[in-house]
Structure 1
Amino acid sequence: MERFEGYIFTALCSTNFLISCLIFSKVTREQREPYMDEVFHVPQAQKYCHGRFNEWDPMITTLPGLYLASVGVIKPVVALADLRGKVVCSTAMLRFVNLLFNCGILYLLYLITCKLHLREKTKTASRRILASLSLSTFPLLYFFNFLYYTDAGSTFFILFTYFMTLYGCHKSSALLGVCAVLFRQTNIVWVAFCAGTLLAGKLDEAWKTDQTKKKDDRPSQVPLSPGGARRVLHFLWEFATSPARVRAVLTEAWPYAAVAAGFLAFVAVNGGVVVGDRSSHRACLNFPQLFYFFSFALFFSLPTSLCVHRLRRFLQAVKRHPLFYLSVTGLCLLLVWKFTHVHKYLLADNRHFTFYVWRKVIQRHELVRFLLAPAYVFAAWNFLDSLRSRSLFWSLAFLACLLAATVPQKLLEFRYFIVPYLLYRLHMPLPSLPRLVLEFLLYSAVNAATLFVFVNQTFRWPDSTATQRFMW
């Protein structure tokens, strides 16, 4: 049975790669020259391809992981091409590297899905395969497979890092985490998440042991109540002050600590997280980014997370605890009022879909951003409820990293939501086959629409003759 599943998955990978190559060919024919951020990435990669590693474009804000990986893939081809007098390190060849990353992402998604849903291994081969395929076509990620951006490589190395963490290979995981940070500095948050899952596992084991010793009737449950919160805080204090337990954690987690120390040293030497142009990438407390992410996650997980039963449970929860949900909504309104930041790029660049989302929805009227607060509350509740099968300690680690990854970002950029969304979907209970089919159809429809618009719906600015295209 496992061999048959392997054959099906291999055939699926080949078919996916073929279709992606056909789309890649169409996109590259229509947009041969570097577009948007590619005007920085492509020339920089070409410098690396020709051995000029000491040259750097000061407008680039990320580390050179993408260019180093591209050189590692293309260099043998470049050597052969130089013998023939041809230049291979072209825009199309550089973009093609991301298609290779996409193949790796599909395989990693499948392996992680198998690991996370091990108990259902004998029953759900088709569901595991379809879930992996569906997530590999996640619209934000899939679109940037056809342009020379950092997203495909960044996502590949974060998934690879997490995969190694799941299998207890923490030294390899930390090393891969360094590769992920070289693609995008903020990936240090997801390296911390890998360490957090290790710590959460240790906390879960210690909690069960302690509650068993106390003859608790439900030793595996962490109670969600004021009294339960006091018990958890007391437990965390005992854990943190137990030399044996701390030593057990550090024995396994030290590779992640070494990566964190190296990153802090880089920040100290560099004078900040961003390299290159820092004026447009300054951190701030933009709490509504978290609400935008919850809304984003709700939309793209509609086929797999939302159902009548869940809606009914939400309404029942509101009815049982009206003061709590009123307080949460009030807090949401306060955060929207005091901490909404609007980046100048969001308002100035009409090539991005976020420009129209902001202008047509958020900016339609000054009250709209406040009227959306109940929707944010439901989206957050749906997000947390979808992960209720996970332990409290794991959920706290994930939410802490989600806050660190989203809130400091001033610019509303959907690409920043790719990794947290994929981790969220991977950790939901494995959906039924019909729901996975609906999810795949939704993603395919969005991909078809965005790629069609990018290729066909071009326009020009009044003061420029260059062709402009709409994109994520």
Structure 2
Amino acid sequence: MDEIFHVAQTRLYCRGIYNEWNPMITTPPGLYFLAVLFGFCGYERYLNSLILPFCFAGLCRLRRFILISTKGKLKKEIDQFRDVRLSALAICFLPVLLNNSFLYYTDLLSLTAFIWGISFNSSLISSIFLALAVLTRQTNIVWPALNCLAISLNLLKQFLFNQISFKQLFFKTFKFIYQFLLVFAFMCFLVWNNGSIVLGDKTAHKPAIHLPQLFYFVGFTAASSMPLFISYFFQNYKKIFNRFSLISMLFISLFAFLSVNCCTLAHPYLLADNRHFTFYLWQRFFQRHWIAKYLAIPFYTFSAIFMFKMTSEIPNKLKAFYLVFTSLCLIPAFLLEFRYFIIPFALWRLSLDYQSRKAQFFEILINLMVSSFVLYLFLNRPFKWPSDPERWQRFMW
């Protein structure tokens, strides 16, 4: 749907016209700069074919880094195929990502730049990739901003407790200067843009307190990795229903109920645009009866518990960091949009404990089947709106 605007804006850049901006575009121009830089003017859709291998390599790199950090070393079989590559493939074949990658959309570049950015220890290289990620999707600034906050608090704590001198504080801070500069540059952008992260038309993307977004994401994650959830349940069902889990379930269920009860929002686009699958999900489930939104709470609860337990080897501090990151990215978003879930999903999927090869194969197979079905609908089941009888409309995520 947005591809028309992205292509037109890119072709303006290809002609050297940088002072015109379509107000219908609300994301930064990182994708357009890349298309001009690599000579994809007139062939914009092919840019993703160049990005996809880098995305796969970045996912493999980060998955391997996480496994080494938690396991110490890798078994050869796991390193070469079973876990690293299958995990990366599962994310690349995530239907909402794969289908949108056939179009000239920002999702693939956003994920690729973000993953490479957080996989480097070098502050300079990391900041370059994260800057590209932010230039592609504004919400990607949340990660470097949180990282800078965590670094600052940690160094300040060490300084106040006389664990480091002022000189050491200065030099330790300077090691991360590029990420601090990135966050500072984004703050300057906010001042220039009147306090809004949205470019172009701001009326359709006003921030909101949309707490159920967290639970929509949890449900999306469970649906996208259902073979892994089922495999985990049958292998660990005795560990799932312990006292801690039951208390957690009660807390999550209560929070989900309060969130759904007070903060369920329906964006006008969600109610009106029948090209998107979220329209039908909302219309045929959530709007069917007032109680429908509450019926999903048990699914949200079990999915959240499973998500937490399936990353048992990740330190709790990192889990808390991830939860804050995901919350800041999703809760302010008024619109229910599956594309917003891609990066939080990828981070969770890369952080899993070892999974069975069979479950991962089924996960990839189901992803490919869903993607093929969506592609079939997109290509072979177009329709027209009575208000716009001259143009074909197509089903999409």
Is the shorter-chain TM-score for this pair beyond 0.5, marking a shared fold? yes
Aligned to 1:396: 320
Residue aligning to 1:468: 393
2:294 matches 1:338: no
Asked if 2 retains the 8 angstrom alpha-carbon contact of 1:161 and 1:177, the reply is: yes
Query: Which residue of structure 2 aligns with residue 313 of structure 1?
Result: 239
- Give CA deviations for 1:379-421 in whole Å, capped at 9, x if unaligned: 1111111222111111111111010011000000000000110
- Does residue 59 (structure 1) correspond to residue 24 (structure 2)? The answer is yes
Map of 2:192 onto structure 1: 269
* Residue 253 of structure 1: how far off its partner (Å): 3.0
Whole-Å separation in 2 of the counterparts to 1:317 and 1:359: 38
Report the counterpart of residue 113 of structure 1 in structure 2.
63
Pairwise CA distance, 1:173: 0.5
- Aligned partners of 2:226, 2:161: CA distance in 1, in Å? 44
Q: CA deviation at 1:285?
A: 0.6
Kept in 2: contact 1:346–1:411 (CA 8 A)? yes
Indicate the residue corresponding to 1:48 in structure 2. 13
Paired position in structure 1 for 2:102:
146
Matches within 5 A, 1:116-195: 116-118=66-68, 119-124=73-78, 125-127=80-82, 128-164=84-120, 168-192=121-145
For 2:207 and 2:172, locate their aligned partners in 1 and report how far apart those are by CA, in whole Å: 31
1:278 aligns with 2:202: yes
For structure 2, the residue ranges without an aligned partner over 5 or more in a row are none
Question: Are the counterparts in 1 of residues 249 and 302 from structure 2 also a CA contact under 8 Å?
Answer: no
For the 8 Å contact 2:312–2:353, the answer to whether it is kept is no
Q: Deviations over 1:147-171 (max 9, x none)?
A: 111111111110110121xxx1111
Partner Cα distance (2:237, 2:183) in 1: 41
Q: Is the 8 A contact 2:87 2:349 kept in 1?
A: no
SS of equivalent residue, structure 1 residue 147: coil
Q: Name which one, 1 or 2, has greater alpha-carbon Rg.
A: 1
Residue 378 to residue 353, structure 1, CA distance change in 2 (3 Å): same
What secondary structure is seen at the aligned counterpart in 1 of 2:390? coil
CA 1:98/1:321 → structure 2, altered by over 3 Å: closer, same or farther?
A: closer
Q: Name the residue aligned to 2:160.
A: 241
Query: 2: distance between equivalents of 1:249 and 1:361?
Result: 52
| SS of 1:467 mapped into structure 2 | strand
- What amino acid is the match of 1:258? L
Q: Hey, what's the Cα distance between the residues in 2 that align with 1:337 and 1:302? A: 27
Secondary structure of the structure 1 residue equivalent to 2:332:
coil
**Structure 2 letter corresponding to 1:59:** M
Kindly tell me: are residues 126 and 429 of structure 1, through their superposed partners in 2, closer, same or farther at Cα, counting changes over 3 Å? same
Q: Cα 1:250–1:242, aligned 2, differ >3 Å: closer, same or farther?
A: farther
User: Are positions 1:375 and 2:328 aligned together?
Assistant: no
Whether contact under 8 Å (2:26, 2:202) holds in the other structure is yes
Whether 1:73 and 2:38 are equivalent positions in the alignment is: yes
> Take 2:159 and 2:212, find their aligned partners in 1: how far apart are those partners?
33
Measure the CA separation in 2 of the matches of 1:131 and 1:328.
28
The structural deviation recorded for 1:195 is 5.1
- 1:440 is the counterpart of 2:396: no
User: Alignment RMSD, CA only?
Assistant: 2.3
Distance 1:328 1:133 in 2: 31
Please tell me whether the aligned partners of residues 114 and 121 of structure 1 are also in contact (alpha carbons under 8 angstroms). no
Conservation of the 8 A alpha-carbon contact between 1:193 and 1:398? no
Alignment deviations for residues 4-48 of structure 1 (CA, whole Å, 9 cap, x no partner): xxxxxxxxxxxxxxxxxxxxxxxxxxxxxxxx1112111110000
CA apart distance, 1:317: 3.8
Greater than 6 Å deviation, 4+ residue runs: none
Q: Is structure 2 residue 381 aligned with structure 1 residue 426? A: no
Aligned-partner Cα distance in 1 for 2:348–2:124: 24
After superposition, the Cα gap between the structure-2 partners of 1:109 and 1:334, relative to the gap in structure 1 and judged at 3 Å, is same
Q: Go from structure 1 to structure 2 and tell me whether the alpha carbon gap of 1:58 and 1:445 turns closer, same or farther (over 3 Å shift).
A: same
